[in-house]
Amino acid sequence: MSPWLMNTYARLPVAFTRGEGVWLYDEEGRRYLDGVAGIAVSTLGHAHPRLVAAICAQAGRLIHTSNLYRVREQEALAERLCRLSGMEEVFFANSGAEANEGAIKLARLYGYRRGIKRAKIVVMEGAFHGRTLAALSATGNRRAQEGFEPLVEGFVRVPFGDVAAVERALADEEVVAVLFEVIQGEGGVRVANPEAVRTIRELTRAREVLMVVDEVQCGVGRTGCWFGWQWAAAALGVAEERLRPDVMTLAKGLGGGVPIGALLASGPAAGVFGPGNHGSTFGGNPLACTAALTTLAVIEEEGLLTNAAEQGRWLREELRQTLSEVRGVEEVRGEGLMVGVALDRPAAEVVFRALESGLLVNVTAERVVRLLPPLILRRPEAEILATQLAACVRAFLASS
């Protein structure tokens, strides 16, 4: 491992030199099926011709100007995201953590304008919102936080999806927002009960506090809907506006691999930020916005929402069947192409076994083997993924 890099990642001993579709190639030319997509980033797989052409053309025209000026690509992307979500306005950042920092600031300012000087935000156990200080403070993982105290104050934690606990927390007049993931990714692919999402929406509306959803991992098509809360509305069979959040954050898959984050606001959260309240040098630059516009266009034109739903359903069903008799497999869960295989023991070794067999998977929350493949994954590749993963899990459980 390079001595020139800070030792922040326990990296696998492999480096990739190129990719094509759902496949990555290492320095020896060995091929791997990418079941991780750079942690839910490479939505269109690798080297998608439409995305490559759009990025190259944009780079040849203009990479960066500044938010001192109008940025047409940013305006177009903001409109597109608002039309897809029914949200009203967008601020562009460069990552998920940054988008969440913006959401936390927006919620505090919303409270401040209503006379609340020391705002509190309700957050969930098992949540992951990023590594910057406020996002880390909102994150429900003590190991990630340890040593970085004093953390940012003002977060009240409740069990994931526990609506009674949310209701109790909302009794506090200083609470200005409830922040959560509809599907916790880092927390172990834990899917919120859509009923709980609906109840939180009703409670926050009634109390006039903001419902903030972190869609950094489960957004941009991963569930088979554009956004996780839309998946929850569809699961309940209710109109989208019944569940639409006041604030939503995006990043990861939005740029198809080019860094971009977004903070969207609607209803009471729209219009909270004015000039001077928030900003970013790089946020919403022409290159990143063109990548995102192209990613969204390809998702739509190639039918990748339906594909994500179908392949994901098939993958979970297949894994459930092939692993049903295997002791040590607790559950196969998820939505769309966000799949978790929960084991009864620490599962890091599965990642190594999979790597050896030419498959990239990831383990989160210690015991959950996680799949986040590109949304372009088709059935023949899903079959390889399921077969190889099941073999690795079986071999691991038999030997540990």
Ligand X SMILES: Cc1ncc(COP(=O)(O)O)c(C=O)c1O
List active site positions. 128, 214, 252
CA–CA separation, 179 vs 157, rounded Å? 10
- Of 126, 45, 105, nearest to 368 by C-alpha is 126
Closer residue to ligand X in complex, CB, 19/185: 185
Rg (CA), the chain: 21
Q: Which is nearer to ligand X, 189 or 287 (CB)?
A: 189
Q: What mask, x for binding ligand X by CB under 6 A, covers residues 24 to 63?
A: ---------------x------------------------
**Do 215 and 169 contact (CB within 8 A), yes or no?**
no
What's the closest the beta carbon of residue 105 comes to ligand X, in angstroms?
15
Choosing from 23, 32, 91, 128, the residue that interacts with ligand X (CB under 6 A) is 128
Torsion 361-364-368-372 (CA) sign: negative
Q: Is 312 in the site for ligand X (CB under 6 A)?
A: no
Binding to ligand X in span 336-395, by CB under 6 A: none
Tell whether residue 251 is a contact of ligand X (CB under 6 A). Answer: yes
Among 185, 245, 253, 373, binds ligand X (CB under 6 A): 185
Smallest distance from ligand X to CB 365, Å: 12
The residue among 181 and 381 lying less far from ligand X, judged by its C-beta, is: 181
Nearer to ligand X, 271 or 279 (CB): 279
From the list 73, 186, 246, 381, which residue makes contact with ligand X (rule: CB under 6 A)?
A: 186
Build a one-symbol-per-residue string for 165-184: x at contacts with ligand X by CB under 6 A, - elsewhere.
----------------x---
Closest distance of CB 204 from ligand X, Å: 19
Angle between helix axes 379-399 and 348-356 (nearest 10 degrees) is 120
Q: Provide the minimum distance between the beta carbon of 93 and ligand X in the complex, in angstroms, as a whole number.
A: 9
Instruction: Look at the block and give the residue holding tokens 């990739």.
Output: 16
Answer for the pair 51, 292: CB distance below 8 angstroms, yes or no.
no
- Write out the binding residues for ligand X, residues 73-102 only, by CB under 6 A: 95-97, 100
- Residue with Cβ nearer ligand X (100 or 307): 100
Give the interface segment with ligand X, choosing from 46-54, 214-222, 264-272, 381-389 (CB under 6 A): 214-222
Structure tokens at 326: 């295997």
CB closer to ligand X, 44 vs 216? 216
Helix (H) or strand (E) holding 57: helix 49-61
**Minimal distance, residue 323 CB to ligand X, in Å:** 25
Strand pairing report for 368-371 and 338-343: antiparallel
Does residue 202 come out as left (phi exceeding 0), alpha (psi in the -120 to 50 range) or beta?
alpha
Burial class (CB in 10 A: 0-12, 13-18, 19+), 62: middle
Residue 299: in which H helix or E strand, if any? helix 286-301
d(CA 283, CA 318): 41
Report in angstroms how near the CB of residue 73 gets to ligand X at its nearest.
20
Angstrom distances, CA of residue 337 to CA of 40, 254, 306: 9, 15, 11
Nearer to ligand X, 364 or 388 (CB): 364
Is residue 217 at the binding interface for ligand X, with CB under 6 A as the rule? yes
3-state secondary structure at position 121: strand
Q: Which residues fall within 8 angstroms of residue 36, CB to CB, at 6 or more apart?
A: 360, 361, 362, 370, 371, 372, 373
CB of 215 to ligand X, least distance (A): 8
Closest residue to ligand X in the complex (CB): 96
**Interface residue list for ligand X (CB under 6 A):** 39, 95-97, 100, 128-130, 181, 185-186, 214, 216-217, 251
